[in-house]
Amino acid sequence: MQTTSKLTSSQTTIFTEMSALAIQHKALNLGQGFPDYDPPSALLDLVKDAIDDHKHQYAPMAGVLALREIIAQKVLHAYGQYVNPSTEITITAGATQAIFTAIAAFIYQGDEVIIFEPAYDSYRPSIELAGGKAVVYTMEAPDFKINWTLLAAMISPKTKMIIINTPHNPTGTILKADDLLQLSRIVKDTDIIILSDEVYEHLVYDGQLHESVLKYPELYQQSISVFSFGKTYHCTGWKVGYCIAPEYLMNEIRKVHQWNVFSVNSFVQHALAAFMADASQYLLLNQFYQQKRDFFLEILKTTRLRPLKTEGTFFQLCDYSNISDLDDVAFAKEMTVNHGVACIPISVFYDDHRQDKLIRFCFAKTEGLLTAAGEKLKQIR
Ligand SMILES: Cc1ncc(COP(=O)(O)O)c(C=O)c1O
């Protein structure tokens, strides 16, 4: 009898491991990507209202219509793309489920999916479970730019999907308009599907704009974009997100979604629908997080860590090569155990675990926590 799962090499994620180590050693946790503050109180009140209003039974398979309608309004306003709430939006149990479902729907045995490393850790196992093969484009530190000519050369007759992620976890880089235009040119007249992970869409800094696939009408016709309320409203534990795709793709996604989760938490969807009416809540997020990024950068100046440029997300990469020769996993563990600050090593975002001596901090934390972490980081010489 076969009693091993199809993911034989899969282990506990480094995020779980570092968070457990942080708890064990009472370290300040700047590792895993979640805020240490609550969602907006108005949203919490709306959740309570939805509970009082008895929104406890199954939501529609595609999600509460009012939520899909307000998302469609937002997309039109932010990206200039009309998407039909009935046929082009599905609410999912976080972005991770949207990614998994999209891959499960379209990837057949032997299909190739191009991913960009360092990469968010759910892409590869989702591809492999579907029987596909991850083909890696490696982005090089420190600027992690994509050379689209090289990317085009990686496309084979088996290429079924390309997964992009902007703003990018863990590097904090963003794709620019020119990147999207080049990608659009490369996949034009092919059957390649773009899976665009845009969970940090509202965390873009220094006056730059988020380049969504939804801004590019031709590209949209062969794209699935995924989003997460967890990142936007400081509620990562609620695990609610959504995906958007043209109807011919969304029909297939829903076939898998239906037998996977069927539908997502009902009262949270009702609360989110009401809360999204106030656009300022997400429009001001750039400012909120830019201030945190700058605050953390000032703190880092007092340390020997060398920060890389962060254009988006709530992550800050730092080069520690002038402090230690340890590999990044060992260094991250030493930081947690001996210096009291947890972080994430970057090698875990690469299949070949390449060593660039980089660690990632999450700055979605209160100023008090960031300051306390700074005091400890200063001591590392
Ligand atoms: C790039 C990226 N995609 C997707 C997710 C998952 O989002 P969710 O918590 O909504 O599943 C994360 C969470 O860290 C992420 O960083």
The residues spanned by each domain of the chain are 14-39+283-378, 41-277
pLDDT at res. 32 = 87
pLDDT at res. 7 = 85
11, pLDDT greater than 80: no
Long-range contacts of 25-28 (CB under 8 A, 24+ apart): 25/336, 25/337, 25/340, 26/340, 27/335, 27/336, 27/337, 27/339, 27/340, 27/341, 27/342, 28/340, 28/341, 28/342, 28/369, 28/372, 28/373, 28/376
Q: pLDDT tens, 155-203?
A: 999 999 999 999 999 999 999 999 999 999 999 999 999 999 999 999 9
β-pairing, 341-342 with 315-319?
Answer: unpaired
Ligand 1: residue of 228, 235, 264 to mutate (most ligand atoms within 8 A of CB) is: 228
pLDDT at res. 2 = 77
**Shortest-distance Cα residue to atom 16 of ligand 1:** 169
pLDDT at res. 15 = 85
pLDDT at res. 134 = 98
Q: Is the domain 41-277 a CATH 3.40.640.10 member?
A: yes
Could you tell me the distance, in angstroms and rounded to a whole number, from the CA of residue 378 to the centre of ligand 1?
Answer: 30
What share of the chain has pLDDT > 70, as a percent? 100
pLDDT at res. 321 = 95
**Ligand 1 pocket check for 94: Cβ under 6 Å:** yes
Q: Which atom of ligand 1 is nearest to the CA of 96?
A: 11
The answer to whether 321 and 6 have CB atoms below 8 angstroms apart is no
30, pLDDT greater than 90: yes
Q: Which atom of ligand 1 is nearest to the CA of 313?
A: 16
3-state SS of 320-338 is CCCCCCCCHHHHHHHHHHH
Q: Tell me the average pLDDT across 257-270.
A: 96
Q: pLDDT tens, 110-163?
A: 999 999 999 999 999 999 999 999 999 999 999 999 999 999 999 999 999 999
Q: Which 8-state DSSP code applies to residue 268?
A: H
10, pLDDT greater than 90: no
Question: Phi, psi (5° rounding) for residue 198?
Answer: -120, 35
Closest-CA residue to 94 (of 266, 237, 270): 237
244's tokens: 């958007």
List C-alpha distances in Å: 329 to 33, 48, 50, 180, 218.
Answer: 17, 42, 44, 33, 42
Q: Is the domain 14-39+283-378 a CATH 3.40.50.920 member?
A: no
pLDDT at res. 314 = 98
